[in-house]
Amino acid sequence: MLTSLIVGVGTAVLALVVAVPAAYALAKYRLRVTVVIVSALLVAQIVPSIVLATSLFIIFHWVHLVNTYPGLIIADGTYAIPFAILVLRAFFFSLPNEVMQAARVDGASEWQTFRRIVVPLARSAVITVAVFAFLNGWGDFIFALTVLNGSTIEPITLGIYTYLGNYSTDWGAVMASAAFAMVPAAIMLVVAQRYIASGLTAGSVKG
């Protein structure tokens, strides 16, 4: 469970570090490659994880990231980051440009406007994508099975998998482990429920 917690938190942090500024740039700046990038993000959401896992294993083997925490976190981020960018971009579209312009008139730089004005206003959307990114890392099985090839690093999903054998299965241990695995995810969803509801609907109506 500690391994899954490290991977989940790492995936959430990586997703936020990449997705928040990327989504803001795609929403507020007119870039020629915006359509291409957004289309690529949508395609990334429908590519089967097993396809990505096989390719990532080859790349991680070259750069020595197999059987490491960073390797698994980056692998889980390949699914979490595109989703986070798309959700945050929809929210940033709903923010009126007058708010940012007023901050610049008061002497704030672009970075100060983004950090002190935009990010606090996007709190619900940021919490939403952070929770989904954490759950993506917490419940990952395909990437963990591929990237952690014979490693001592074992998330909860691989721990459950070890109880499943070809000729016998310890169903008591499987159910007990699954129950423990559900507790942190359930607590997080209950605590962040109101933020998730407002974060997912943010940007759906543009004034």
- pLDDT, tens digit, for every residue of 97-120? 888 888 888 888 888 888 888 888
Please check whether residue 207 lies inside any domain of the structure: no
Using left for φ > 0, alpha for ψ between -120 and 50, and beta otherwise, residue 155 falls in beta
Which residues, given as ranges, of the chain have pLDDT below 50?
199, 201, 203-207
Q: Which pLDDT score is estimated for 195?
A: 64
User: Count of domains in the chain?
Assistant: 1
Please check whether residue 171 lies inside any domain of the structure: yes
Please check whether residue 206 lies inside any domain of the structure: no
Domain limits at 95?
Answer: 2-201
Q: Which pLDDT score is estimated for 206?
A: 45
Work out the burial of residue 202: count CB atoms within 10 Å of its CB; fewer than 13 is exposed, 13-18 middle, 19 or more buried. Answer: buried
- CATH number of residue 112's parent domain: 1.10.3720.10
Please check whether residue 148 lies inside any domain of the structure: yes
